[in-house]
Amino acid sequence: VDRLELEGVSISDLTRDEVFSRLRDALDRRTQLCLGFCNANMLLKALGLPAYAAALRSFLLVSDGLGIDLCSGLFRGRSFRQNLNGTDLIPAFLATETAPRTLYLLGAKPGIAEAAARNLALLHPQHRVVGVRDGYFAPAETGAVIAAINAASPDILLVALGNPGQEMFIAEHAPRIDARVLMGVGALLDYTAG
């Protein structure tokens, strides 16, 4: 796979269908995949915050937006084949995925993940939300949050804690989280909640 490499951050030049097959592969083989949608804002934060750049190394990162594409033109001499953002890609993946999958929604303000779960059940009745938790828990509650996720053992964990919080959370805890696909999803839960 071609990639854009900048200061240790590596963004893969994948198409949407290629990402779908990576996701399906992790789900079917029950291996773990952390997927990140890297926009210019994330890249700038990573360049200024080495711990964030290090956290992003445990992700398969794809290109989200014009800013990243401009960097690609400058440093690689060509654009990314497709612009991939989680807000479009995740619902599209869930819609095309006929095999039933379980999801856990972590993040956003209290009540939002519940509302998003209700809408997901209408939009994608083949899948099932097996747990929700808002994104405003104290650091001391992190162990309990992870224990609740593990008790549900979701196929897919969507993490909406903003940047850099969501990718830091995933990178730090993925090794002890019982989920196959972990994704930082930004404002997706807010959008899905309506």
Q: Which of 123, 136, 176, 178 binds ligand UDP (CB under 6 A)?
A: 136
Pairing of strands 181-184, 128-133: unpaired
Shortest distance, position 169 Cβ to ligand UDP, whole Å: 10
Can residue 167 be called a binding residue for ligand UDP (CB under 6 A)?
no
Residues 45-104 that bind ligand UDP (CB under 6 A): none
Q: By rule CB under 6 A, what count of residues binds ligand UDP?
A: 14
At residue 173, the 3 state secondary structure works out as helix
Describe the strand order of the beta sheet including 60-63 as a list of residue ranges.
3-6, 9-12, 60-63, 33-38, 181-184, 156-160, 102-107, 128-133
Q: Which two tokens stand for residue 67?
A: 């800013």
Shortest distance, position 31 Cβ to ligand UDP, whole Å: 27
Choose between 89 and 189: whose C-beta lies nearer to ligand UDP: 189
Give rounded-to-5 percent helix, strand, coil for the chain.
50, 20, 30
Q: Which of 12, 63, 83, 163 binds ligand UDP (CB under 6 A)?
A: 163
Can residue 39 be called a binding residue for ligand UDP (CB under 6 A)?
no
**Binding site residues, ligand UDP, CB under 6 A:** 107-109, 135-136, 160-163, 165, 186-187, 189-190
